[in-house]
Structure 1
Amino acid sequence: MSRRSTGLVGVWAEVQRQQQRAREAEARQRREQERQARAYQRHVAQSHREYRQAEARRRTEELEAQVATLQALLSAGCRASAFRAAALMRTEEIPPFDPGPLAWPVPMPDQNQYQAQGGWTANRRAQAQAEAQARFERDWHAAQTAEAQRRQQLAAYQREYEQRAEAQRSEVRRHNAGITEVTEGVRQGDPDSVVEYFSAALYASTAWPEGFPRQVSAAYDSAARQLVLDWELPGYRVVPEAKSVRYMPTLDQDKETPRPVGQRRALYREALAQCMLLVLHQLFAADESAALESVALNGFVDDHDPATGRQAQIVLATVMAPRAVFTELHLEQVDAVSCLTEALRGQLSSRPDQLVSVRPSRRPQDVANRVATRGGDEEPDLYEMDPIAFESLVADLFRAMGMQAVTTQRSNDGGVDVDALDPTPIRGGKIVVQVKRYRNTVPPTAVRDLYGTVQDRGANKGVLVTTSGFGPGSRTFANGKPLELISGSELVDLLHRHGLRGCLGERGRTTPAQPAPSSPTTRSDDYNVLGMSWSGSVALDVCALVCTGNQVLSDDHLVFFNNPRTPDGSVRAVPATPPDKAAIRVSFDALPDSADRFVLVAAIDPEVNPDADLSGFTDACIRLLNPAMVELGRLEVSDGRPRETALVLGSFRRRSNGDWDFVLGGKGYTGGLEELVRDHGIEVE
């Protein structure tokens, strides 16, 4: 008969079983973790492999798309709209005058709303009635003053509108007259007009892929009615060297499959032939006046001559195409190489990849009149450039920056010169572009009009491009809005960075918009008024400092109650008009050349409020006004803080292109105006 043990042996056995179960659980957990780690590594490796494979497929698709674009160059170009001079004509439609809030008169107070408050006795009732009448008269006079100011601003705004409208109409008339003059010159066979018209037709064409060159030199033989031109062709690199990309998992790297040399050379010759035929097609399609009996076309590349090693124009294709022969061709169905060399009896280099040249039959310099060149090494003067060409150049710049852009060649363009589309996700979208070929500073009204156009068109952004610059009013209005202002110097820099040409003034020297700033030559109406207002009853002195960096130019360049103007008169204190409590007049263009900052400060008036601080200085703002006292913009500034008795409101800082930007201040001083000016380099006795 067996006996079950309930002593130490049983306890020991149970402990052993528990330990064994724990070890088995740990082993199972360890195996599960290892399994999950292996699964994760397989997932990561699979995801990495799939990503690299997808990236390789994407690169292959890009290569195939490049080749497809080259192969369809001629057929796509033939479907593009022909260049027409009539499409360049503009109408004199000017947006109607819209005064905005200025159109509404200031409401006058109603005396019935001013009832006497209180009064149990006759004397108190009489006093209450007198107080009510005084309140009414005070508010009535204030409303009358505001209404007079509104009418003054409305009249000034309407004068500005009429001047701007007349300037726009004059520009449209001048533009249309120029188009009419050129087209009439083409009809009469004037060589300069013919060359200008057909060069513009080629240069403004949207049929060429991004990155293709657009350099053209042309001359017109009026006797033979033949246009002779040299047109730059794309280089050999336009055909991708790689045919496809494949990801190799074992090496974790991409491998490019090279395109066979023979295939690449054949594609390049075909692309060159299509370029030549497309140029001819665009010229004859644009010839509304039948000015061209034939075209002598030479296609060249700008590269190093293999024989001399020097940079040269190497002609790789040439053809003389009579109109009667060319117009009988069905270009969308031809083999480009056969059409060029056989049907038109032209020449095409047998080894263009090795820059083997052909002999052109006729060059533009062989024609006995002036040769016009576009897109070459010469820097075109943006000031003198034709407005149409200038708009096309801006559109070229946007395309070079990776956007889709077209000039608005319709009469009802709504004030938009270029329509652009940025394909970049999130920050991209529709962009409207206005182009101002000015020599003087762009007025803030132009920036306001652009903002209205952005809203009317539902665009994501508006860009204003000019050959001149922008004043503080324009910069202030554009701040915080979907607007971008590109000045002349910034435009030239962008052109050069994206492989385009342009300069401000002859030979790249910037032509000044106005004489060198100084008080004798500065126009009397070329200034701004900075009106300052704030809440609270604290009495303040508002001062201005003309500085280089953080140092005042001299003691005389601190404008305050004891020195109401600078020596040259470019800055002066003026009486404030409601709602402003203080005002400073400044001619930014007349500030000394050595000045790069114009600083506005406020300080407690120690004679009126000797124990006050700036804690009562709140809701402060600076209004930017034009000479007619029309508000151009408003700048919010920092509130004051306890124990501070002086505060830097902000500073206008000169940009490298001559414009001025506003930078918010906020630095406070407990030692009043004396400490502030001492911090800016003025010794206080």
Structure 2
Amino acid sequence: MAGRRNSGVLTVWAEAQRQQQRREEARWRAETAELRRHERAQREAQRAAARDEREAQRAYQQSREAEAARRTAELDRRVAELRGLLAAGLAAPAFGPQSLLAPRPVPPFDPGPLGEPVPMPDQTSAEYHVPPPDAAQARNAGVRRQYEQYLARARARFEQDWYAAQAQEADRQRRLAAYHQEYLVWAEGFRRQEAERGAGTEELLRRLRAGDPEAVQEYFTAGLYASAAWPEGFPHRLVAAWEVSSRQLVVNWELPGPDVVPAAVRVRYVKSDDREAEVARPATERKALYREVLAQSALRVAAELFRADRDGMLDSVVLNGFVLGIDPATGREAERFLSTLTATRAEFSGLALDRVAPVECFQGLGGKLSARPERLDEVKPDRLPESVGGNLAGHFGEDEPDLFEMDPLDFEDLIAELFRLRGFRVMTTARSGDVGVDVVAEDLDPVTGGKIVIQAKRYKKTVPPTAVRDLESTVRHHGAIKGILVTTAGFGRGSYSYIEGKPLTLVSGPELVELLAEQGLRGRLGGGPGRGAEPGPLPKEAEPAVPQSSLTVSWQSRTAGGDPVELDVTAFLCAGGRVLSDEHFVFFNNPQDPDGAVRLHPTRSVPGEPARAARLSLDLHRLPAAVDEVVLAVSTEEEEPPALPLGYVYGLAVAAEYGPGAAGPAKWPGANGGIPDSAMLLGSFRRADGGWQLVPSARAVTNGLAGLATAFGVAVE
């Protein structure tokens, strides 16, 4: 049987199928290859990203390690500075008469930003240039008109800018001339003061050589003040007295506290937690280093005194090193003596101070160091300046003007001089013509500068919040960028809360004294040598010998809306319904009456509870005979007028404990629910049958703490 021939149609179809299959295979191979290329590129990108991330992580860790190393180096530098106290003092130039006689040159005139002319606009600059049309465009009348309009606008803009710049330059020159004139007046006063100082110095040195005690004290005190190269944070306060008969100088010298020694020995970076960890310095090392600081300080001061003694006025010196700390017997801040040394010139001249071991040298001279200075355990001073007799010289000497007693105009001039020395252009109101301010200061910085109004208030009692609010109005009225209220007294917590977020600054009395000292100006807040206006610690024999009574007020620390709550607990020591004096009004700014009979302790949080508590302790036996009633009250802090009503305070409760001769309920609710006022009487201790009876109360008083004070006769300024 003959075979059949294949159909041509099937052949064509089969060939088409094979070709289609080849195309599909080629497309699949191409897609597969592309997919593999994409996957390879993706893997490479991931590897590159991982490398970048590792590099970034390494760079970050290196930066953190570098920061830890920097902090460690700073700790090492600080320790080296402390260990080199004595060496730095020996390397410094010795103080002598030439230091006092060296004239101070008049500082050159520094116009600051006023010395920079106002740049004039340049008509050829691109800002004012209008490109002319080309030849083809110039044949178009519309284009020519448009060009002329643009050109006229550019000329007008240039002329406007030029005239404005000319006006600014004229104003700058006017202000520069006025500032230069002020400088000339100031420079003449500076030269006059220098001439007077030179004459006064010559007279001082003449009296020094004649052995005048006050001149000797003043000379050596000046030498210690001029002492340089002390580390940052070291105080520079002292009191000195010179005894003629023994030719001995007795000095109380303030020392830094134990925290001057860094608590950490190094800082390391912990990668696992991504944090810096301080490695604690061993307590024994801190104690040893602090004792070394105390010994070096005494040796250095003694060396500086003997080096400054060019006329042989000193046969010996007594150095008592003290820090300011809490006296456990009184709970008040007091001078705690940690070192004392009596050294003669003969003993000291035989020392090679650059090679001694400070503590051993100090003790070899008979000096006494506190055994536990980190706890402020005291040593008994060999001798105190007060035992010498006569006037004392020092940082708190009587030659410093009492800011409380200063003439008001002199006080304004002092504040003006303070701000002038801080780089401001200043005028007092008599020269500025401004109303409602005492001093006008101008910050000459062209970007951040502007007018600053300053009010100066010589108060002895807390500045009322109304004065702070008035200052804000004054700032707005005068278009000033800032207002500053300077006082010799202090401010309440409500005043500090009020200025938050506002262009206002409050400067209290202690802050003012520090600012004056920073600029070489002098001033103290009442008092005498040693402690300014602060009351001294109570004598130990005045401490209560019997248990005290106390009153504790507690409350929930937040309102229902979640707002924080602080209360002020107060006491009024009254006679016939009126406070005995302003000093017998006990509150946060006067936490104790003059006799120490009533004390307000700091407000504290109640452990384990969302509550706060404040406590008054009362030693009723120490009250003056004139006091027949001690009124106790509570008020909400005035952060933003009006103050929070007591009705919004939850959990107000009162608890009392009674010492001998006092009686009353142990506790009672504050009964403040629904009270719309911001103050309330809690009760009062009243004399009864030779003792005291506490009678509770819940009477509301309007106008908060100020209302309470007014009700009992306290003068509210």
TM norm structure 2: 0.47
| TM-score in terms of structure 1 length | 0.49
Q: Which has the larger radius of gyration?
A: 2
